[in-house]
Amino acid sequence: MRAYSAEEVRQRLAFFPEWQYSQGALVREYEFGDFLEAWSFLSRVALLAERHNHHPEIWNVYNKVRLRWNTHEAGGITERDFTLVEEVDRAYAAITRAHSK
């Protein structure tokens, strides 16, 4: 599994504008209406991470969640990280859509 160069990461991030490339990882903070909504999202993230056997660093304070993803074995960002970025963004959209009704 090949790690992307910093320039390749920046080019790919054009498709994920909410994500940042920071200290060798992809990072995004999500905000929810309350703790329960945030926890619902984290449950989905956990299931996705297990399915792909690729686990993020997670921070949660009340209604805020921050995820940090990189591929340790490759020493950087790989396609695997972008796959999870896309899937967790879809999970976020589903959670926020469901809770806004």
- In 3-state terms, what secondary structure has residue 20? strand
| Torsion 76-80-85-91 (CA) sign | negative
55 is catalytic: yes
Backbone angles phi, psi at 42, to 5 degrees: -60, -35
81 is catalytic: yes
Alpha-carbon distance 68 to 81, whole Å? 10
Q: Which residue out of 50, 52, 57, 86 is catalytically annotated?
A: 50
Q: Which residue out of 7, 29, 52, 55 is catalytically annotated?
A: 55
Q: Which residue out of 29, 34, 73, 86 is catalytically annotated?
A: 73
Alpha-carbon distance 25 to 19, whole Å? 10
50 is catalytic: yes
Active-site amino acid positions: 50, 54-55, 72-73, 81
